[in-house]
Homo-oligomer: A and B are copies of this chain.
Amino acid sequence: MTPIHLLVISAPDVPHLEILDTLPPQTIVTISADPGVLKAKAPETQVVLNCTGRAEGLEAILPDAPRLQWIHSLSAGVESQLTPVVVASTVPLTNSRGVYKESLGEFVIAAALFFAKDFRRMVRNQEAGRWEQFDVEELYRQSMGIIGYGEIGRAAARRGKALGMKILATRRNPAKSDNDGIADKLYPPEQLGNMVAESDVVVVAAPLTPDTRGLVDDQTISL
Protein backbone atom coordinates (compact mmCIF):
# COMPACT_ATOMS: atom_id res chain seq x y z
CA MET A 1 0.00 0.00 0.00
CA THR A 2 0.99 3.63 -0.50
CA PRO A 3 2.51 5.02 2.66
CA ILE A 4 0.59 7.66 4.59
CA HIS A 5 2.69 10.42 6.12
CA LEU A 6 1.48 11.52 9.54
CA LEU A 7 3.14 14.50 11.14
CA VAL A 8 2.55 14.85 14.87
CA ILE A 9 3.20 18.26 16.42
CA SER A 10 4.34 17.30 19.90
CA ALA A 11 7.36 16.75 22.07
CA PRO A 12 8.48 13.18 21.25
CA ASP A 13 8.46 10.37 23.84
CA VAL A 14 5.30 11.39 25.66
CA PRO A 15 3.45 8.33 26.98
CA HIS A 16 0.04 9.20 25.54
CA LEU A 17 1.43 8.97 21.99
CA GLU A 18 2.57 5.37 22.43
CA ILE A 19 -0.76 4.29 20.96
CA LEU A 20 0.52 5.53 17.56
CA ASP A 21 2.74 2.44 17.53
CA THR A 22 -0.41 0.45 16.82
CA LEU A 23 -1.06 2.23 13.49
CA PRO A 24 -0.76 0.07 10.35
CA PRO A 25 2.84 -0.28 9.10
CA GLN A 26 2.25 1.83 5.99
CA THR A 27 1.75 4.86 8.26
CA ILE A 28 4.99 6.81 8.49
CA VAL A 29 4.91 8.81 11.70
CA THR A 30 7.08 11.81 12.51
CA ILE A 31 6.76 13.40 15.93
CA SER A 32 8.35 16.78 16.49
CA ALA A 33 7.75 20.19 17.97
CA ASP A 34 10.74 21.69 16.13
CA PRO A 35 9.66 24.21 13.46
CA GLY A 36 12.61 23.24 11.23
CA VAL A 37 11.61 19.57 11.25
CA LEU A 38 7.93 20.44 10.70
CA LYS A 39 8.79 22.66 7.70
CA ALA A 40 11.05 19.95 6.23
CA LYS A 41 8.36 17.25 6.53
CA ALA A 42 5.49 19.48 5.32
CA PRO A 43 5.70 18.69 1.55
CA GLU A 44 5.03 14.94 1.98
CA THR A 45 2.61 15.22 4.91
CA GLN A 46 -1.01 14.07 4.40
CA VAL A 47 -2.25 14.17 8.00
CA VAL A 48 -1.31 16.44 10.90
CA LEU A 49 -2.07 15.71 14.53
CA ASN A 50 -1.64 18.85 16.60
CA CYS A 51 -1.02 18.06 20.25
CA THR A 52 0.03 21.54 21.31
CA GLY A 53 -3.32 23.35 21.28
CA ARG A 54 -1.49 26.23 19.60
CA ALA A 55 -1.05 27.44 16.00
CA GLU A 56 2.75 27.77 15.70
CA GLY A 57 3.31 24.25 14.36
CA LEU A 58 0.42 24.51 11.92
CA GLU A 59 1.75 27.82 10.62
CA ALA A 60 5.15 26.22 10.02
CA ILE A 61 3.54 23.41 7.97
CA LEU A 62 0.65 25.00 6.05
CA PRO A 63 2.52 27.24 3.56
CA ASP A 64 4.33 24.24 2.08
CA ALA A 65 1.94 21.29 2.43
CA PRO A 66 0.21 20.63 -0.92
CA ARG A 67 -0.65 17.01 -0.01
CA LEU A 68 -2.18 17.85 3.38
CA GLN A 69 -5.75 16.54 3.67
CA TRP A 70 -6.60 16.65 7.35
CA ILE A 71 -5.54 18.37 10.57
CA HIS A 72 -6.76 16.95 13.86
CA SER A 73 -6.45 18.78 17.16
CA LEU A 74 -5.81 16.65 20.23
CA SER A 75 -7.57 19.29 22.31
CA ALA A 76 -11.30 20.01 22.25
CA GLY A 77 -10.79 23.77 22.42
CA VAL A 78 -9.38 25.25 19.21
CA GLU A 79 -9.46 28.94 20.15
CA SER A 80 -5.66 29.27 20.11
CA GLN A 81 -5.30 27.48 16.78
CA LEU A 82 -7.65 29.63 14.71
CA THR A 83 -5.13 32.22 13.53
CA PRO A 84 -5.68 33.90 10.13
CA VAL A 85 -3.26 31.50 8.40
CA VAL A 86 -5.09 28.44 9.76
CA VAL A 87 -8.55 29.87 9.06
CA ALA A 88 -7.55 30.75 5.48
CA SER A 89 -6.48 27.16 4.78
CA THR A 90 -9.02 24.88 3.05
CA VAL A 91 -7.72 21.78 4.88
CA PRO A 92 -10.34 20.47 7.33
CA LEU A 93 -9.46 20.97 11.01
CA THR A 94 -11.22 18.60 13.39
CA ASN A 95 -11.14 18.76 17.19
CA SER A 96 -11.34 16.15 19.95
CA ARG A 97 -14.87 17.01 20.94
CA GLY A 98 -16.27 14.65 23.55
CA VAL A 99 -12.99 12.89 24.31
CA TYR A 100 -12.42 14.70 27.58
CA LYS A 101 -15.98 15.03 28.72
CA GLU A 102 -15.96 12.21 31.29
CA SER A 103 -12.66 13.34 32.83
CA LEU A 104 -13.78 16.95 32.94
CA GLY A 105 -17.26 16.10 34.20
CA GLU A 106 -15.64 14.16 37.01
CA PHE A 107 -13.21 16.98 37.76
CA VAL A 108 -16.07 19.47 38.05
CA ILE A 109 -17.65 17.32 40.76
CA ALA A 110 -14.29 16.82 42.47
CA ALA A 111 -13.76 20.59 42.63
CA ALA A 112 -17.31 21.26 43.82
CA LEU A 113 -16.85 18.71 46.62
CA PHE A 114 -13.40 20.11 47.47
CA PHE A 115 -15.01 23.46 48.23
CA ALA A 116 -18.20 22.05 49.80
CA LYS A 117 -16.23 19.98 52.30
CA ASP A 118 -13.52 22.64 52.72
CA PHE A 119 -10.76 20.09 52.26
CA ARG A 120 -8.24 22.91 52.29
CA ARG A 121 -9.17 23.51 55.93
CA MET A 122 -8.95 19.78 56.70
CA VAL A 123 -5.49 19.58 55.14
CA ARG A 124 -4.38 22.64 57.12
CA ASN A 125 -5.75 21.11 60.34
CA GLN A 126 -4.10 17.78 59.61
CA GLU A 127 -0.74 19.40 58.95
CA ALA A 128 -1.03 21.33 62.22
CA GLY A 129 -2.05 18.17 64.10
CA ARG A 130 -5.29 19.90 65.04
CA TRP A 131 -8.61 18.07 65.57
CA GLU A 132 -11.42 20.46 64.73
CA GLN A 133 -15.04 19.66 64.01
CA PHE A 134 -16.83 22.00 61.63
CA ASP A 135 -19.94 21.97 59.49
CA VAL A 136 -19.57 21.24 55.78
CA GLU A 137 -21.92 21.95 52.90
CA GLU A 138 -23.89 19.29 51.09
CA LEU A 139 -24.11 19.37 47.32
CA TYR A 140 -27.37 17.47 47.39
CA ARG A 141 -29.08 20.58 48.69
CA GLN A 142 -27.44 22.87 46.10
CA SER A 143 -27.89 24.06 42.53
CA MET A 144 -25.37 23.73 39.71
CA GLY A 145 -25.63 26.28 36.91
CA ILE A 146 -23.96 25.27 33.65
CA ILE A 147 -22.88 27.86 31.11
CA GLY A 148 -22.48 26.05 27.79
CA TYR A 149 -24.53 22.90 28.01
CA GLY A 150 -22.59 20.80 25.48
CA GLU A 151 -20.67 17.53 25.87
CA ILE A 152 -18.63 18.67 28.87
CA GLY A 153 -21.45 20.61 30.48
CA ARG A 154 -23.77 17.60 30.27
CA ALA A 155 -21.08 15.23 31.63
CA ALA A 156 -20.85 17.48 34.70
CA ALA A 157 -24.64 17.81 34.88
CA ARG A 158 -25.24 14.05 34.84
CA ARG A 159 -22.92 13.61 37.81
CA GLY A 160 -24.31 16.61 39.69
CA LYS A 161 -27.84 15.29 39.14
CA ALA A 162 -26.82 11.87 40.47
CA LEU A 163 -25.49 13.60 43.60
CA GLY A 164 -28.91 15.18 44.08
CA MET A 165 -28.13 18.66 42.79
CA LYS A 166 -30.65 20.83 41.00
CA ILE A 167 -29.31 21.37 37.48
CA LEU A 168 -29.70 24.72 35.74
CA ALA A 169 -28.25 25.25 32.27
CA THR A 170 -27.93 27.82 29.54
CA ARG A 171 -26.98 27.30 25.91
CA ARG A 172 -27.37 29.26 22.69
CA ASN A 173 -30.35 27.15 21.72
CA PRO A 174 -32.02 25.92 24.94
CA ALA A 175 -34.73 24.04 23.02
CA LYS A 176 -32.07 21.50 22.01
CA SER A 177 -31.91 20.24 25.59
CA ASP A 178 -35.55 20.40 26.60
CA ASN A 179 -36.63 17.30 28.49
CA ASP A 180 -33.21 15.67 28.45
CA GLY A 181 -33.90 14.18 31.87
CA ILE A 182 -30.93 16.00 33.43
CA ALA A 183 -31.49 19.75 33.40
CA ASP A 184 -34.22 20.92 35.77
CA LYS A 185 -34.37 24.33 34.14
CA LEU A 186 -32.98 25.75 30.88
CA TYR A 187 -32.28 29.45 30.35
CA PRO A 188 -31.85 31.33 27.08
CA PRO A 189 -28.48 33.11 26.86
CA GLU A 190 -29.96 36.50 27.76
CA GLN A 191 -31.05 35.07 31.14
CA LEU A 192 -27.54 33.95 32.10
CA GLY A 193 -27.56 36.37 35.03
CA ASN A 194 -30.78 34.93 36.45
CA MET A 195 -29.31 31.44 36.30
CA VAL A 196 -26.07 32.46 38.00
CA ALA A 197 -28.02 34.22 40.76
CA GLU A 198 -29.83 30.94 41.51
CA SER A 199 -26.70 28.74 41.42
CA ASP A 200 -24.49 27.57 44.29
CA VAL A 201 -21.90 26.25 41.84
CA VAL A 202 -21.33 27.67 38.35
CA VAL A 203 -19.64 25.59 35.64
CA VAL A 204 -18.23 27.43 32.63
CA ALA A 205 -18.07 24.91 29.79
CA ALA A 206 -18.76 27.06 26.73
CA PRO A 207 -16.25 27.01 23.87
CA LEU A 208 -14.09 30.14 23.76
CA THR A 209 -15.21 32.10 20.69
CA PRO A 210 -15.54 35.81 19.90
CA ASP A 211 -19.16 35.48 21.12
CA THR A 212 -18.30 33.91 24.48
CA ARG A 213 -15.14 35.83 25.37
CA GLY A 214 -15.93 37.92 28.44
CA LEU A 215 -19.29 36.19 28.87
CA VAL A 216 -18.60 35.70 32.58
CA ASP A 217 -17.53 39.12 33.78
CA ASP A 218 -17.40 40.80 37.17
CA GLN A 219 -21.06 41.72 36.89
CA THR A 220 -22.01 38.06 36.34
CA ILE A 221 -19.90 36.99 39.29
CA SER A 222 -21.43 39.69 41.50
CA LEU A 223 -24.81 37.98 40.96
Tell whether A99 is near chain B: CB-to-CB under 8 Å: no
A123 within 8 A of B: yes
Chain A residues numbered 101-146 whose CB sits less than 8 Å from any CB in chain B:
102-103, 106-107, 109-110, 113-114, 116-117, 119-120, 123, 136, 138-140
- Interface check A164, CB cutoff 8 A: yes
- Number of A residues near B (Cβ < 8 Å) is 22
The answer, yes or no, to whether A159 is at the interface (CB within 8 Å) is: yes
In this complex, what residue of B is CB-closest to A140? B102
- Given the known interface contacts A159-B162, A162-B163, A164-B102, the answer about A116 and B120 at a Cβ–Cβ threshold of 8 Å is no
**Most chain B Cβ neighbours within 10 Å, of A102, A107, A113:** A113
A139-169 contact mask (Cβ, 8 Å, vs B): 1 or 0: 1100000000000000000110011100000
Q: Is the CB of B119 within 8 A of A110?
A: yes
Contact A140 B110 (CB under 8 A): no
- Given A114-B119, A119-B110, A119-B114, A103–B138 Cβ distance below 8 Å? yes
Contacts of A123 in B (CB 8 A): 120, 123
User: Does A117 lie within 8 Å of B109, measured CB to CB?
Assistant: no
Report chain B residues within 8 Å CB of A140: 102, 106
Q: Are B120 and A110 in contact (CB under 8 A)?
A: no
Q: What is the CB-to-nearest-CB distance from A119 to chain B, in angstroms, rounded to a whole number? A: 6
Is the beta-carbon distance between B102 and A110 smaller than 8 angstroms? Answer: no
Whose C-beta in chain B lies nearest to the C-beta of A161? B162
CB-CB < 8 A to A139: which residues of B? 106
Whether B117 contacts A107 by the Cβ 8 Å rule is yes
A159 to B114, CA, bound (A): 16
Q: How far is the CA of A102 from the CA of B141 in the complex (A)?
A: 10
Q: Which of A106, A140, A158, A164 has the most CB of B within 10 A?
A: A106
Interchain nearest-CB distance for A128 vs B (Å):
14
Among B102, B119, B120, B163, the residue within 8 A (CB) of A109 is: B163
Instruction: Return 19 A-B CB contacts under 8 Å, by A number.
Output: A102-B138, A102-B140, A102-B164, A103-B138, A106-B113, A106-B139, A107-B117, A109-B113, A109-B163, A110-B113, A110-B114, A110-B119, A113-B113, A114-B119, A123-B123, A158-B162, A159-B162, A159-B163, A162-B163
